[in-house]
Amino acid sequence: MYPLLFPFLFFLFSCVEGEKASPKLLGKELPYDLVQEGQKHVLGFELEEISGLSWDGEDMLACIQDEEGIIYRFDLKKDKVTERIKFKKSGDYEGIERIGSEYYVVKSSGKLFKVIPKGTEPAIVEEIENSFTAENNIEALGLDFEENRLLLGTKGKGSIKGEDFKGKGVYGIDPVAEKPKLKYLFNIPRSEINHFLKPHEDELRGGYGISGIALHPLEKTVFVISSEGEFLLVLDRSGQIITFAELPRKKFKQPEGICFSPDGDLFISNEGRGGNGNILHFKYKPKTRE
């Protein structure tokens, strides 16, 4: 009797494990296979705490980590950092975006810097005043190329002075305006996520926050990742949720940064959590219409 029971139990537990290994993908299907595919770029010790990511020209990514005021230029073909741009002393730097030949870097406190590289000379750094505080805990910085502005998302408190709402906030700012000013765009409340999950008899458990944000270059949708809860949201430009996708922890240790190449390839960076950080590269595979 017992010899027959053990194979049955093994089969049963295997099925349960298989279900856990299949992350939820709800709503519109993604043009990426986040589970079976993804080229991994393993990073050295200096980027174990990688916190932000930006497209940096042909086959290059700009990376930031949350301890040193250094921009790391990562060559995808050579699979290594080929340039380091020192711009500030140590600090909690969380997001990076490149516009033209200049970089923008944000700290968790909300301080936003414009960095102008000068080759072998020290980079020029200018601070862009805004209304964020440390309570907002800013980790996400992206580019809205449709409106020529930066996108910033809150991991902490969503609202700023003059705004009052629950949930996480997304804001825009024109960094080259004479007097740059934050513009509230939309918020992502827990209730809205749960409303999206409810038809599937599910709800959001634990914390969440905007760790990374990027606008898709071809589909013009907004991609948001949350390291808390480990999931990805795709939203339209008004903030309505289109897709909810779990990011399996086995593959996404701690997703912090997100960006796209001009042709739609997706890049997500993960902190190392005591090991090597990495960048995962997913090929854009749009669904062909029948």
Q: What is the pLDDT along the chain (290 residues), one digit of tens a residue?
A: 445 444 444 444 444 444 445 789 999 999 999 999 999 999 999 999 999 999 999 999 999 999 999 999 999 999 999 999 999 999 999 999 999 999 999 999 999 999 999 988 999 999 999 999 999 999 999 999 999 999 999 999 999 988 888 899 999 999 999 999 999 999 999 999 999 999 988 999 889 999 999 999 999 999 999 999 999 999 999 999 999 999 999 999 999 999 999 999 999 999 998 899 999 999 999 976 44
The answer to whether the Cα torsion of 158, 251, 33, 266 is positive or negative is positive
DSSP secondary structure of 106-166: EETTS-EEEEEEETTEEEEEEEE--S--GGG-EEEEEEETTTTEEEEEESS----TT---S
Q: Is residue 188 part of a domain?
A: yes
Q: Residue 164's pLDDT is what?
A: 84
DSSP secondary structure of 59-114: TEEEEEESSSSEEEEEETTTTEEEEEEE-SSS--EEEEEEETTEEEEEETTS-EEE
Q: Is residue 15 part of a domain?
A: no
Quote the domain boundaries for residue 200: 24-282
Q: Residue 273's pLDDT is what?
A: 86
Q: What is the DSSP letter of 228?
A: T
Q: Is residue 1 part of a domain?
A: no
Q: What is the CATH number of the domain that holds 106?
A: 2.120.10.30
Residues 34-39: contacts with CB within 8 Å, 24+ apart? 34/232, 34/245, 34/247, 34/248, 34/251, 34/282, 35/248, 35/251, 37/282, 37/283, 38/251, 38/280, 38/281, 38/282, 39/280, 39/281
**113 within 8 A of 83, measured Cβ to Cβ:** no
Q: Is residue 106 part of a domain?
A: yes
Q: Is residue 266 part of a domain?
A: yes
Distance between CA atoms of 225 and 151, rounded to whole angstroms?
14
Q: Residue 79's pLDDT is what?
A: 97
Q: How many domains does the structure of the chain reveal?
A: 1
Q: Is residue 18 part of a domain?
A: no
Q: What does pTM read for this prediction?
A: 0.91
Q: Is residue 288 part of a domain?
A: no
138-144 and 149-154 beta bridge pairing:
antiparallel
User: Terminal CA-to-CA distance of the chain, rounded, Å?
Assistant: 53
Residue with tokens 């990805």: 232
Q: Is residue 95 part of a domain?
A: yes
Find the length of the chain. Answer: 290
Q: Residue 8's pLDDT is what?
A: 43
Q: Residue 22's pLDDT is what?
A: 74
